[in-house]
Amino acid sequence: MKQAVQKSVLAHVLLVVLSAVFILPFLWLVSTSLKPDAEIFREGIHLLPDRPTLSHYLKGIESYNFPHFLKNTAVICFLSVLGTLLSCSLAAYGFAMVNWRGREISFYVLLATMMLPPQVTMVPVFMIFRELGWINTILPLVAPCFFGNAFYIFLLRQFYLSIPRDLIDAARIDGCHDFRIWANIVLPLSKPALATVGLFAFLYAWNDFLGPLIYLMDEDKYTLSLGLAMLRGQYFSDWGSLMAVSALMVIPIIILFFFTQKTFIQGIKTTGLTG
Amino acid sequence: MNRSSLATGLMFISPCLVGLLVFMVYPVVASFYFSFCDYMIFDSPRFIGLDNYGELVNDPLFWTSLYNTLYYTLIAVPGGMLFAFLLALILNMKVRGMAFYRTIFFLPSIIPIVASSVLWVWILNPQYGLVNMLLIRLGIPNPPGWLSDPAWSKPALILMSLWGAGGTLVIYLAALQDIPVQLYEAAELDGAHAWHKIRHITIPTASPVLFFTLIMGLITSLQYFTQAYVMTSGGPGNSTRFFAFYLFDNAFQYFRMGYASAMAWILFLVIVVSTFLVFRFTGKYVHYAGR
């Protein structure tokens, strides 16, 4: 008994120390963003600013174009989520609910594409979008979402397979068309799985860097990720403003996480997807 | 099974089928062909046989970028797994506030990579950064220059990657919580100690998940790019010019599409070979329940 208590105390001490280490960078981020420059460049660790200021946030919003980057990112996120949910739930229905010759083999071919590093397809895909005249538009970033994604299709298909087949068969016997079964029965029943996919698609679009880096040329088209990277290159010693812009980019994700924690954890567990 | 269900099935997967053909099948074939071509972006591709591959073998920066990538992968992947597994073991001890700690460890892994990269450049700042100020306070008079020192730049990036190990932790924790308590109780009756239980129950039962995260970790690490691009621009002295970074440079800075395609196929080969090696050497230790 005594040993068990000792062990639990030890575990708690370890956890408190480690979680302090994990949270410290976040505190440092917020702390720096609120300090006047004179305090930022001062030796020693001062977590609380002596004279806190919002000037870095104002600068980030006014001169660093943050609202504009936010708007561009939001548009891309919205279209990505919409396209992903639509195309992947349709495909998952085709793979889970309809029996057709060649279904299994097609599904495994689709899964196999996940092994392929995106660098292999990067150059020809870029040339396709260049031929279409889509460089420096958001189309290369959102259009592919409307054509399915192996990983999300896999996730949705797993979920659809758990829906009772009797329900689908009964609807078919009643003369319900497959498209209506998808829209009126399967979609409403798969809300948790759709939420997981939507959340991941949103996060991917919000965080993506390589895509915008390759396809967006003009600063007024930049996303938050690309904009922040550019600011880092231009104003490399203005740490207060860089931290303020980073904080503005991170905070929505943290708020989103607290509202969707269950969906998140469930999704990570079922798919093994990590950031 | 009849013709109409084939039509229905194809109708539902048609967007995905088009996507597969346009964004996967065609690009894979084209990329393979381009890798044998001299292909500057504004000209049409000209077949030159194995010249790109021959040039790569004699390109010192190719070898540097390959070395940097393997260095990072071989330390960051096992290191991150070990770290996440130890944390999961501690969290699985039914400590109070498990969900709270899990949230704290998980958060860094979902924030945008560019934001965490910019933050860590500041944290690793040699003079005013958090890490070195802590080290000085701990009595280390000359802490490393981290990202400004070729010898420390890769360790710095590996250190930062541990901060993002929370996603793996969540997977491990879920796997550990699925292990039936009876297994441990039976082992305790037989007089097993903590280490025995971990070695003979926890690790074998969690082995499919460990295996999965190892493969995924390898594939992701071999494509390491964004952090290096934002934090160091490949420097100092190309010490953080990773493989995917040099590939990107060739494609979108020098517009050498053929050369970049050849690099992409070598990357694919490295991924296939390392996945095969993992299967070959750890596959027999992976234990699937019920088999």
pLDDT digits (tens, 9 = 90+) for B75-111: 999 999 999 999 999 888 877 888 888 889 999 988 9
Residue A272: its pLDDT value, please? 56
Residue A158: its pLDDT value, please? 87
B24 in any annotated domain: no
pLDDT digits 0-9 by tens, B203-260: 888 888 899 899 999 999 999 999 999 999 998 999 999 999 999 999 999 999 999 9
Nearest Cα residue to B165 out of B73, B74, B80, B76 = B80
pLDDT digits 0-9 by tens, B17-72: 999 999 999 999 999 999 999 999 888 899 999 999 999 999 999 999 999 999 99
- Ranges of residues in chain A whose predicted pLDDT is under 50: 273-275
For chain A, give every domain's residue range: 2-53, 59-271
B11 in any annotated domain: no
Residue B26 vs residue B139, higher pLDDT: B26
Residue A274: its pLDDT value, please? 43
**What is the rounded CA–CA span in Å between residue B224 and residue B241?**
10
B140 pLDDT band, cuts 50/70/90, is confident
Indicate the fold that domain A59-271 takes in CATH: MetI-like fold (1.10.3720)
| Measured distance between the N- and C-terminal CA atoms of chain B, rounded to whole angstroms | 33
**Residue range of the domain that includes B224:** 31-37+47-285
Label residues B155-188 b or e (16+ Cβ within 10 Å = b): bbbbbbbbbbbbbbbbbbbbbbeebeeeeeeeee
B58 in any annotated domain: yes
**What is the rounded CA–CA span in Å between residue A214 and residue A244?**
26
Across the A:B interface, residue pairs with CB atoms under 8 Å apart total: 267
Contact between A215 and A76 (Cβ < 8 Å): no
Show Cβ contacts of residue A103 under 8 Å, excluding neighbours closer than 6 positions.
A94, A95, B9
Show residues of chain A in contact with B111, CB under 8 Å.
Answer: 250, 253-254, 275
B5 in any annotated domain: no
Q: Which two tokens stand for residue B66?
A: 């390959």
Is the CB of A216 inside 8 Å of chain B's CB atoms? no
The verdict on a CB contact (< 8 Å) between A117 and B13 is no
B192: exposed, middle or buried (C-beta count within 10 Å: 0-12, 13-18, 19+)? middle
Contact between A95 and A107 (Cβ < 8 Å): yes
A residues 93..152 contacting B (CB < 8 A):
93-95, 98-103, 106, 109-110, 113, 115-128, 144, 146-148
B14 in any annotated domain: no
Distances (CA, A) of A198 to A83, A87, B270: 10, 12, 32
B8 in any annotated domain: no
Residue B291: its pLDDT value, please? 44
Show residues of chain B in contact with A19, CB under 8 Å.
Answer: 101, 104-105
> Cα distance from B151 to chain A (closest Cα, Å)?
22
Residue A1: its pLDDT value, please? 55
| CATH code: domain of residue B120 | 1.10.3720.10
**What is the rounded CA–CA span in Å between residue A146 and residue B19?**
8
Contact between A125 and B20 (Cβ < 8 Å): no
The number of folded domains in chain B is 1
Is the CB of A182 inside 8 Å of chain B's CB atoms? yes
Among A197-201, A206-210, B267-271, B284-288, the least confident range? B284-288
ipTM beyond cut 0.85 = yes
> Cα distance from A94 to chain B (closest Cα, Å)?
5
B142 in any annotated domain: yes
A residues 46..65 contacting B (CB < 8 A):
none
The verdict on a CB contact (< 8 Å) between A103 and B9 is yes
**What is the rounded CA–CA span in Å between residue A120 and residue B25?**
11
Residue A271: its pLDDT value, please? 62
Residue A11: its pLDDT value, please? 82
Concatenate the DSSP letters of all residues of A47-84 into one string: -S-SS---HHHHHHHHTS-HHHHHHHHHHHHHHHHHHH
Q: 3-state SS of chain B?
A: CCHHHHHHHHHHHHHHHHHHHHHHHHHHHHHHHHCCEECECCCCCEECCCHHHHHHHCCHHHHHHHHHHHHHHHHHHHHHHHHHHHHHHHHCCCCCCHHHHHHHHHHHHCCCHHHHHHHHHHHCCCCCCHHHHHHHHCCCCCCCCHHHCCCCHHHHHHHHHHHCCHHHHHHHHHHHHCCCHHHHHHHHHCCCCHHHHHHHHHHHHHHHHHHHHHHHHHHHHHCCCHHHHHHCCCCCCCCCCCHHHHHHHHHHCCCEHHHHHHHHHHHHHHHHHHHHHHHHHHHHHCCCCCC
Of the partner residues B12, B113, B229, the one whose CB lies closest to the CB of residue A98: B12
Q: Which two tokens stand for residue A6?
A: 């000792």
Residue A209: its pLDDT value, please? 96
Q: List the single residue in A with minimal CA-CA distance to B22.
A: A125
Residue A192: its pLDDT value, please? 87
B12 in any annotated domain: no
